């Protein structure tokens, strides 16, 4: 073909057009990629600047939860943007609407819903690699190195400088103060004899402290982002529930060596964060509440591997079919899982004193569900307005029946429920939403804080036999007053002034007069050895 032919010119023109279109497309694509990359970078920068200090490096969780799509499955994107703008009730999550533009909030939402490039792993080998055995407990004296009533000791967790105080519950004098891991959360758990106490930090560290010898004896990082831990009644096992990875880890308590790691997924394989784990003493089992699937698990630990414990379950296994078939039931399996299907998610829950019924509620529901753990089914619905904080609920006897009372983290009320018929018998109006509630079987009073809002400095004292508030105190004006714990005999009450420059205030539990003020650094929970190891009705378990 001649270069001068009109066909040749047309061909060149067409080729040039095609090439320039391709070049344009390429340029457009790379501009788009650049923009995406830039957006990603700026979202990452935004994350590092505003979120990382609480939600951890690489979104792995720290004070706040891990932020990956897998951990946000119950939160729609528009709701997530609302949480960033307005903050989240009952958590430390602040509102960012005055700090961040709508555009930046959208970028952050996209960022946290972007899957991680490499899925964060925390395998058994990773866990084992963190194990630290500071001391062999068998080479330390099995007698206390101080003089005190060992059942009337308190551990006070001080959040401001990540420490804890061991307090004498008779003299109210500190015995020692020691460093803890960063950001402990939830109640520490005691061994049945009270010699050891186990702590869980939000970033997964489990520490074992020898109270008699005042030493941390062992530590292990059981998860990346942990909820809480529970210790079996025989003291042999601890269970840890995690948000990240989605699993539970069972440890033997002498050295904190892991025995079993179980991925928390439902029958269809959908994985879930763990809401919380509990010990159920009369059942000699652990209870595991799952957050993203509608299941609760029961895991027996007594004589783990033995047949007796599981005898009563044969019926369940037969009835369940599938993986629950009796022939699939390995009698020698250690820590088998008994699944209980629920009608709703469980974010917060409470057990009756016999551990037959679990009272659970999802954060979005107006109702609580009562689930009979033996029958494996819901037996009642409780109408509960606002957002009851069931985990802080307590029980007592009122006019010949057993009642359950729960503070409410959204409304100023305490809901009192008759545990025979699960009817609400009274809503006690308070001066704002509360977080923690406590009493003692020997005390006529129940104490509830007003944790949120302008009245956070106040604490109400409710007479248990009239269900009336008889006194409201504000012991440190302007500072949050929250979380009480009683002494072993119920004669004194310890209340936290939840501030960096805070205190634990001791009250006479009958006259309600202040006895003593001990300076402490943001004391959060305090835990009496007797009340905790005896599952005293007025305290959380
Ligand atoms: Fe807690 C216990 C869940 C926020 C202080 N908290 C618990 C328990 C659960 C729980 C499941 C019972 C575990 C146990 O004791 O073994 N807490 C949650 C949440 O889901 C929530 C609302 C959001 C979150 O951030 O995880 C939440 N909790 C907080 C706080 O912001 C508090 C006030 C400060 C902090 O430490 O982070 C807080 N939670 C506590 C305390 C206990 C607790 C002091 C132990 C109470 C007790 O007396 O036993």
Mean pLDDT, range 352-362, rounded to an integer: 90
User: CA–CA separation, 48 vs 57, rounded Å?
Assistant: 8
- Helix boundaries (H) for 51-118: 52-55, 77-86, 102-112
Q: What percent of the chain has pLDDT over 90?
A: 66
Residue 276 Cβ contacting ligand 1 at under 6 Å = yes
Residue 524 Cβ contacting ligand 1 at under 6 Å = yes
Q: What order do you get walking across the sheet with 163-168 strand by strand?
A: 174-179, 163-168, 153-158, 523-528
- The confidence band for 68, taking pLDDT boundaries of 50, 70 and 90, is confident
pLDDT value for 330? 55
Q: What percent of the chain has pLDDT over 70?
A: 86
User: CA–CA separation, 507 vs 459, rounded Å?
Assistant: 13
List, as own/partner pairs, every contact residues 471-476 make where C-beta atoms lie below 8 angstroms and the sequence separation is at least 24, other chains included: 471/512, 472/431, 473/512, 475/505, 475/514, 476/502, 476/503
Q: Return the half-sphere exposure (C-beta side, CA atoms, 13 A cut-off) of residue 140.
A: 19
Mean pLDDT, range 215-219, rounded to an integer: 98
Residue 91 Cβ contacting ligand 1 at under 6 Å = yes
Q: Please tell me which residue, 440 or 25, carries the higher pLDDT value.
A: 440
Distance 502 CA to ligand 1 centre (A): 19
pLDDT value for 58? 87
User: Is the predicted pLDDT of residue 346 greater than 80, yes or no?
Assistant: yes
- pLDDT tens digit string along 78-122? 889 999 999 987 778 899 999 999 999 999 999 888 888 887 889
- The confidence band for 35, taking pLDDT boundaries of 50, 70 and 90, is low
Collapsing DSSP to helix, strand or coil, 456 comes out as coil
Residue 92 Cβ contacting ligand 1 at under 6 Å = yes
Mean pLDDT estimate for the chain: 88
User: CA–CA separation, 388 vs 414, rounded Å?
Assistant: 8
Q: Tell me which residue has its CA closest to atom 21 in ligand 1.
A: 91
* Probe target for ligand 1 pocket from 92, 351, 391, with the most ligand atoms within 8 Å of CB: 391
Distance of alpha carbon 382 from its chain centroid, rounded? 23
User: Is the predicted pLDDT of residue 65 greater than 90, yes or no?
Assistant: no
Distance 322 CA to ligand 1 centre (A): 36
Instruction: Scan for tokens 């602040």, then name that residue.
Output: 94
- Helix boundaries (H) for 267-411: 308-311, 314-320
What are the b/e assignments for 215-225, b being 16+ CB within 10 Å? bbbbbbbbbbb
Of 353, 431, 352, 435, the C-alpha closest to 388 is: 435
- The confidence band for 306, taking pLDDT boundaries of 50, 70 and 90, is very low
Of 311, 310, 299, the C-alpha closest to 338 is: 299
Distance 528 CA to ligand 1 centre (A): 17
pLDDT value for 524? 95
Contact (Cβ atoms closer than 8 angstroms) between residue 46 and residue 104: yes
Mean pLDDT, range 331-344, rounded to an integer: 81
Residue 60 Cβ contacting ligand 1 at under 6 Å = no
- The confidence band for 8, taking pLDDT boundaries of 50, 70 and 90, is low
Query: Which residues lie closer than 8 Å to 31 by C-beta, 6 or more apart?
Result: none
User: Is the predicted pLDDT of residue 70 greater than 70, yes or no?
Assistant: yes
pLDDT value for 175? 98
User: CA–CA separation, 14 vs 22, rounded Å?
Assistant: 12
User: Is the predicted pLDDT of residue 50 greater than 90, yes or no?
Assistant: yes
Distance 29 CA to ligand 1 centre (A): 48
Residue 241 Cβ contacting ligand 1 at under 6 Å = no
Residue 273 CB-density burial (10 A; 0-12 exposed, 13-18 middle, 19+ buried) = buried
pLDDT value for 319? 44
In order of 147, 210, 287, the CA distances from 142 in angstroms are: 14, 10, 31
User: CA–CA separation, 44 vs 521, rounded Å?
Assistant: 33
User: Is the predicted pLDDT of residue 321 greater than 50, yes or no?
Assistant: no
Q: Which atom of ligand 1 is found nearest the CA of 348?
A: 11
Residue 525 Cβ contacting ligand 1 at under 6 Å = yes
Q: Please tell me which residue, 455 or 73, carries the higher pLDDT value.
A: 455
Cis peptide bond prior to 303, omega within 30° of 0: no
Domain ranges of the chain: 6-112
Distance 199 CA to ligand 1 centre (A): 13
CATH code of 6-112, in short, is: 1.10.760.10
Contact (Cβ atoms closer than 8 angstroms) between residue 246 and residue 271: yes
Collapsing DSSP to helix, strand or coil, 166 comes out as strand
- pLDDT tens digit string along 120-176? 889 999 999 999 999 999 999 999 999 999 999 999 999 999 999 999 999 999 999
User: CA–CA separation, 497 vs 474, rounded Å?
Assistant: 10
* Probe target for ligand 1 pocket from 184, 186, 410, 493, with the most ligand atoms within 8 Å of CB: 186
User: CA–CA separation, 291 vs 347, rounded Å?
Assistant: 6
User: Is the predicted pLDDT of residue 22 greater than 70, yes or no?
Assistant: no
Residue 281 Cβ contacting ligand 1 at under 6 Å = no
User: CA–CA separation, 139 vs 133, rounded Å?
Assistant: 13
Of 534, 532, 535, 441, the C-alpha closest to 198 is: 532
- pLDDT tens digit string along 249-291? 999 999 999 999 999 999 889 999 999 999 999 888 999 999 9
Distance 540 CA to ligand 1 centre (A): 11
User: CA–CA separation, 270 vs 86, rounded Å?
Assistant: 30
């Amino acid at each position: 073909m001649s270069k001068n032919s009109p066909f040749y010119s047309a061909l060149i023109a067409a080729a040039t057009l095609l090439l320039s279109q391709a070049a344009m497309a390429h340029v457009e694509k790379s501009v788009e990629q650049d923009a995406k990359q830039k957006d990603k970078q700026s979202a990452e920068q935004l994350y590092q600047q505003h979120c990382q200090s609480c939600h951890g490096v690489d979104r792995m969780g720290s004070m706040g939860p891990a932020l990956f799509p897998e951990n946000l499955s119950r939160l729609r994107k528009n709701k997530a943007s609302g949480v960033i703008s307005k903050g989240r009730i009952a958590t430390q999550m602040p509102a960012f609407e005055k700090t961040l533009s709508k555009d930046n909030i959208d970028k952050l939402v996209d960022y946290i819903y972007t899957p991680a490039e490499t899925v964060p792993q925390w395998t058994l080998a990773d866990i084992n690699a963190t194990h630290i055995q500071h001391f062999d407990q068998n080479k330390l004296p099995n007698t206390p190195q101080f003089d005190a009533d060992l059942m009337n000791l308190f551990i006070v967790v001080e959040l401001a400088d990540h420490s804890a105080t061991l307090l004498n519950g008779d003299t109210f004098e500190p015995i020692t103060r020691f460093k803890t891991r960063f950001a402990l959360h939830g109640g520490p758990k005691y061994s049945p004899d009270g010699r050891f106490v186990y702590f869980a930090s939000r970033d997964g560290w489990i520490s074992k402290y020898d109270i008699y010898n005042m030493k941390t004896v062992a530590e292990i990082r059981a998860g990346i982002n942990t909820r809480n831990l529970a210790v079996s009644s025989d003291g042999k096992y601890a269970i840890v529930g995690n948000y990240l990875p989605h699993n539970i880890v069972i440890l033997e308590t002498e050295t904190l060596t892991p025995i079993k790691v179980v991925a928390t997924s439902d029958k269809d394989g959908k994985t879930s964060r763990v809401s919380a784990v509990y010990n159920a003493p009369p059942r000699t089992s652990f209870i595991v509440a799952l957050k993203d699937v509608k299941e609760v698990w029961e895991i027996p630990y007594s004589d783990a591997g033995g047949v007796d414990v599981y005898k009563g379950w044969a019926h369940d296994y037969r009835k369940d079919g599938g993986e629950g078939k009796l022939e699939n039931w390995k009698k020698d399996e250690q820590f088998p899982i008994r699944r209980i299907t629920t009608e709703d998610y469980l974010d917060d829950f409470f057990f009756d004193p016999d551990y037959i019924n679990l009272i659970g509620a999802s954060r979005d529901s107006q109702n609580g569900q009562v689930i009979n753990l033996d029958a494996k089914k819901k037996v009642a619905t409780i109408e509960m307005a606002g957002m009851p904080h069931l985990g802080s609920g307590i029980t007592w006897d009122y006019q010949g029946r057993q009642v359950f009372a729960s503070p409410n983290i959204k409304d100023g009320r305490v809901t009192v429920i008759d545990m025979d018929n699960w009817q609400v018998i009274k809503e006690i109006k308070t001066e704002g939403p509360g977080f923690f509630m406590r009493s003692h079987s020997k005390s006529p009073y129940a104490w509830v804080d007003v944790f949120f809002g302008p009245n956070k400095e106040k604490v109400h004292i409710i007479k248990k036999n009239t269900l009336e508030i008889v006194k409201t105190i504000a012991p440190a004006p302007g500072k949050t007053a929250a979380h009480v714990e009683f002494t072993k005999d119920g004669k004194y009450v310890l209340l936290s002034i939840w501030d960096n420059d805070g205190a634990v205030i001791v009250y006479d539990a009958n006259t309600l007069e202040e006895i003593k003020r001990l300076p402490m650094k943001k004391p959060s929970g305090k835990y009496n050895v007797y009340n905790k190891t005896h599952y005293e009705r007025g305290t959380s378990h």
